[in-house]
Structure 1
């Protein structure tokens, strides 16, 4: 049985792995990252982990709020840097928000499109 510390470290490693797997030019929400890491409902853990990140190679800029907004205060250094990094990857950022297509609500919609 794993200790709580080992369990937390494993969760953190899965979150980092999920963030590294986001392709260039694409974004995910904090909750989506948590779900991909096998930790559904742990969006705040993803945010906390990114807030404490000191790895310059981690593509942290590809993680946004669920509504596509940059989580940092508008106009802050981090907000400007995230906008700039996303734009450099070809992501359209308008007023600190990335417009993303809504996920399909059903398998039929995913295959055939909206009705």
Structure 2
């Protein structure tokens, strides 16, 4: 819930939706949610944001990685594109995220030094 709430706030604060949607506040409540709240819905593009970015948060990553339905729901919502955002080094060994890691392109950091 913390990631979802913070993402909503950052989107609204950035004003990126101004001029694109009639009601940015309503848009973030309809389009930004947890894996559980988006279950059953589809979108052209899905950003799968992984929290637990601290090394010490192994328990949270193990819990999420121990439930294949979380990853399945997240990736099957995307009709065209899926973006996975998080610390790959920490998540790639967290249960079923190891499988997801195999399907992601290597070096997926935009703008990283060559």
On whether the aligned pair clears a TM of 0.5, the verdict is: no
Report the TM-score, using the length of structure 2 for normalisation: 0.29
Report the TM-score, using the length of structure 1 for normalisation: 0.29
Give the structure, 1 or 2, with the largest relative contact order (CA under 8 Å, sep 6 or more): 2
Larger radius of gyration between Structure 1 and Structure 2: 1
The structure with the greater share of residues assigned to strand is 2
